[in-house]
Every structure is written in C-alpha cells, then in structure tokens.
Amino acid sequence: MRQIRKLAAGVVACLPLLIPLPVSAAGWLVGAAADGTIYDVDIVTGMAGNPRSTGIEDLLGITFAGDDTLYGLSSNGALYTIDLTTGAATDTGTRIGSYTRHELAWDPIMEALYYLTTAPGASGISLTMFNLVTEEETYIGGFRTGTTSIAFDNTGVLFAIDNDEELLLTVDNTPRPPDDRYLEFLAQTPLSVDLGWARGLAVVATDTFYVSALDDELDLLYALEPTTGLLTLLGPTGAPGGLNGLTVVPEPASLLLLGMGGALMLRRAHRKSRAPA
C-alpha cells in the first residue's frame, strides 16, 4: 500500500512535466508536420509543443484509431503506426492509394481509415475507404472543390472543410454509383472567417472542432462551432512549415500515458535516491 501511495504521489508531482498543455474533457490534440514531427497542441493558445520526430518523410496525415493506435500516412502511400510518447514510427508494410495522398481519418462505426487523393490533371479530390483487416479499398466519391481536411465524430459522421467555398461540409459517405461519382452533403455551413487553406481538422466533441490553417505563411489554430460555422482564433501553432494534420487522442489513452509516464519518472527518481554518493 505504501508503494501505491508513493506511485500516486509521483504521478501527481509529475503532472506539470508530463502534460504541460491543456487537455479537454474528451482528450488532447495532436498535430503532424510534413517534416515528420508530431506535436501536442495547446487548445487554449494554439501553440504546438513537445515535438517528437517520427522519421517519416512528407507526413501528410495522422489519425487515432479505435485500436488505440496512432496512424500516419506519407505522400507515397506508406502507412505507419506511431508511438505517441516517443514519436517512433513503424512501417506497416501497407501502401494505400495512388497519385498524391493527403489527410487521414478514422471512422469509428465502419472501423476503417479514410484518405484523400488528387490525381494529376483531375478536377476535384477523391475520398477512399481502407479496411485495415482485409486491406480492401473502396472508392467513396469525389469532392468538386479544394477539400483538404476531413474528420469523423464518434457517431461516424464525416466532416470536411471546403477551402474554395469556405464551408464546413457534413458528408454522406455512402459509396457513390459509377454514373455519379460526386459526393452528396447533408449540410453545408458557411465559415465565419476566411481560413486561407485549412490543412487539419479534428472533432473533439459534437460541439467542439479544431482547425489548423495556413494563411500568408502563418499556421494558425482555430476552434470551430459546427452548427454556426463560428471560428475563434486561438493563436499561431509555431510549427515550422505548419501542421498538415490534426487528431484527437481520447481521454482513456491520455490517462494511460500519464500513468505510465509518472511511473517511469518515479522509478528513475527512486534509482537516483538509492545510488551511492
């Protein structure tokens, strides 16, 4: 019992060191840059901190999946798993899509990954589903305009940012028939601010979205109220080159990492205290 009390005290003492950035009730925000660095993103100031290199070249999308795994997608279609604590990436050996890939999202209902692609000379952007178990790809449909950011909520509703029309789209992700490949939208909500170019979208709760956008070479984080389209500027991310993707790490995983980190730091401190002078 004494050891348990010491461990608990150690975790509490290490809280400021382990999670220096504010965390929402639903989890915390993680961003990815093209140079392969992942960051924890402050949901109050927008600042990106705690950089961890994944070693992935041209990292263009990340998403946290239902199997408690952070996935990353490179521009050549390589799919990676990423250690949230260290940033170390492992190539799964799977290649998805073709042409230019960007963005990655997890559908908790279908338990599948979704990603966007752009083909040379093609108009619009394609949405495709990838089944992690069967490794089958299903073409869902196409966006007519410059859509670069997608995310699901926890009920399986798909959202996207249309940069050209400055809209938040609620997307019907039923696969389109061959004779009509363009996606249909359940809602199109005008955004209150011209984002420039949105590159990351994360759904923390049904009424709380976050968007990273590059505007005049300044990467900014916004809070988005989905029913009204109201965008609130939180601040610059400070990430070199900006964030190409955002995802939410749910609270249970946050607490697990916190406990593991606290135990590790307490163990190190205990070793130092026992070391001979």
pLDDT in tens, 132-181: 999 999 999 999 878 889 999 999 999 999 999 999 999 999 999 988 88
What percent of the chain shows pLDDT beyond 90?
66
| Residue 38 DSSP SS3 | strand
Q: Residue 122 has what pLDDT?
A: 65
Q: Where are the domains of the chain?
A: 23-256
Q: Is the pLDDT of residue 251 over 90?
A: no
- Average pLDDT estimate for 73-89: 95
Q: Is the pLDDT of residue 267 over 50?
A: no
Q: Residue 22 has what pLDDT?
A: 54
Is 2.120.10.30 the CATH number for 23-256? Answer: yes
Assess contact for 71 and 104: CB atoms under 8 A: yes
pLDDT averaged over the chain?
Answer: 84
Based on DSSP, count helices (H) and strands (E) in the chain, helices before strands. 3, 20
Of 254, 198, 244, which Cα lies nearest the Cα of 104? Answer: 244
Q: Is the pLDDT of residue 128 over 90?
A: yes
| Least confident interval from 9-13, 210-214, 261-265 | 9-13
Please give the backbone phi and psi of residue 247, each rounded to the nearest 5 degrees, phi first. -150, 160
Q: Residue 12 has what pLDDT?
A: 37
Q: Residue 242 has what pLDDT?
A: 94
If one counts every other C-beta atom within 10 angstroms of the C-beta of residue 23, the result is 17
If one counts every other C-beta atom within 10 angstroms of the C-beta of residue 249, the result is 20
Q: Name residue 32's amino acid.
A: A
Tens-place pLDDT, residues 30-44: 999 999 999 999 999
CA distances in angstroms from 39 to 19, 43, 85, 132, 271, listed in the order given: 12, 12, 10, 25, 30
Q: Residue 277 has what pLDDT?
A: 47
The confidence band for 219, taking pLDDT boundaries of 50, 70 and 90, is very high
